[in-house]
A and B are shown apart, each in its own frame.
Chain A
Amino acid sequence: MGKATVIPFGPQHPVLPEPLHLDLVVEDETVVEAIPQIGFVHRGLEKLVETRDYNQFIYVAERICGICAFGHSMGYAETVERLMGVEIPERAECLRVIWHELSRVHSHILWMGLAADAFGFESLFMHCWRLRERVLDIFEKTTGGRVIFSVVKVGGVVRDIDEGQLAEIKRVLEGIKDDYSQIMNAFLKDTSVKNRTVGVGFVSHEDALSMSMVGPFARASNVNYDVRMLGNGGYGRLSDFKPVLDTQGDCYARVKVRALEVLQSIDIIEEMIAQLPSGDIAVSVKGSPADGAEAANLVEQPRGECYYYARGNGTKNLERMRMRTPTSQNLAGMTTALSGCDLADVNMIVLTIDPCISCTER
């Protein structure tokens, strides 16, 4: 065994779109230990609830992360609605599910592109991102924004999706399915891709449970947990929902879980469009949360379970708003997967947890 050397990884690194710093302790070519250091994206936005009222804060909540933007605005709005005992119209619940699942499709395809870039398959990266543009076009037509939508408000949604647009969404998703199956084929069957992913960065089922891992990262280690199966909000209307699971726990399993979740999300959107109830899209919300009232909420973000907590103090401003985001849960799992891996596999393992640093640090 050689002498232990420390190699810094990040915060500015070609495979990372976001700043994360890792001190990689290596012996020869093997990583012995990975010590993460975060804080490069910390803004301190939870404290903004003291200066923004609960309606204004939704725009801050949406900007916790630009990839899971819709999920955060939905999670925050649901929490405040619980806090104030507001029942929102069924149509608004279903529209939220449609947008949220579209966000998952866009997020997973984006991630697959970044993963392809990490193992040096540039053309696959470009193909993924080209496909993703079509989902963004749907967002732009239905909400006006490409990544930040500002379409959720406390009490419902701001915009409706009309019949013409619903038909268009269905048509576009059908087209995406065709092209997506080719991309999925490349990820799951291509030998050069499999060489980089099969058996790399293994996390056992027991480790996944003991480190409270969430999302596709945990489901790839056969942890049968997905917040959507609790049936919150519009998800309660789904006829059948089973989380996508895999037993292998390596990078390949994580790619596979996400790849199959895209198809699952497309099915959910189609089911929602088929049974979309008519009616109002919002109720007017008046008053303020009661002093000492508390509410908690769970949302399945593209990266995993996100927990929201809010406490009122009798004024328009909340007393406390707290989120526990999926990546902060998964960082411990990532360091476990990294210890003992090859130095060349580090970027692959870091990417397969789909780190979202701006969610983590807020």
Chain B
Amino acid sequence: MTYATKSPWVIHYDASSCNGCDIEVLAALCPGYDVERFGIVNTGNPKHADIFLVTGSVNEQNIKVVQEIYNQMVEPKVVVACGICACSGGIFHDCYNVIGGVDQAIPVDVYAPGCAVRPEAIIDAVVEALGILEEKSKALQAQRKGA
């Protein structure tokens, strides 16, 4: 990918993270790392979002919320698992109320490991997600033309 054709909006949801990754997601958007200068904006509305940043592993209670947000997002959409808990469960993998990584609930496109995940890793994952978003968008357009 040489340039971004659109400014993606992100939505962030804390599944059962310890906050460490959440504040790093916000720190990536704020001055210091400042991805907002590329038009990447944090939105609260799933219908406005292109990239879903999930932190923390899923448990019995929040698995439905994660799936609901994912289902409300409009295609094309990309999911980024931020932090090792979202990737695999991390240090809490054998807790009785942890089902596992976010991929147990919804399809995950990019994994950004780390405890807590560093803002650089989140930015790297979002850049990778942009490429996937573009591919998905092209596939969707081709499908529409074919139909």
Contacts and interface: CB of A to CB of B under 8 A. Distances in A.
A47 B96 contact: yes
A15 to B, nearest CB: 8
Interface stretch (A56-64, A272-280, A308-316): A56-64
A148 B116 contact: yes
Nearest to A11: B65
Interface residues of A, number: 40
A39 B118 CA distance: 27
B27 A358 contact: no
Given A66-B116, A133-B32, A146-B24, A358 B62 contact: no
Contacts of B129: none
A66 B18 contact: yes
B9 interface: no
Interface residues of B, number: 39
A67 B24 CA distance: 10
Interface string B10-50: 00111111111111101100111000000000011110000
A129 B97 CA distance: 33
A263 interface: no
Contacts of A148: 20, 115-116
Interface stretch (B87-95, B103-111, B135-143): B87-95
B91 A69 contact: no
B59 A133 contact: no
B91 A39 contact: no
Nearest to A113: B30
A39 B116 contact: no
Contacts of A19: 13-15, 62, 65
B123 interface: no
Contacts of B27: 129, 133, 136, 146
A18 B31 contact: no
A43 B85 CA distance: 11
B132 interface: no
B61 interface: yes
A43 B23 contact: no
Interface in A38-88: 39-45, 47-48, 51, 59-60, 63-67, 69
A130 interface: yes
A99 to B, nearest CB: 16
Nearest to A16: B14
B17 to A, nearest CB: 7
A295 interface: no
Contacts of B16: 40-43, 358
Given A13-B44, A146-B116, A42 B59 contact: yes
Given A47-B96, A51-B94, A60-B91, A40 B116 contact: no
A40 B62 contact: yes
Interface of A: 11-14, 17-19, 39-45, 47-48, 51, 59-60, 63-67, 69, 110, 113, 125-127, 129-130, 133, 136, 145-148, 356, 358
9 contacts: A11-B62, A12-B44, A42-B16, A64-B18, A129-B32, A130-B31, A130-B32, A147-B23, A147-B24
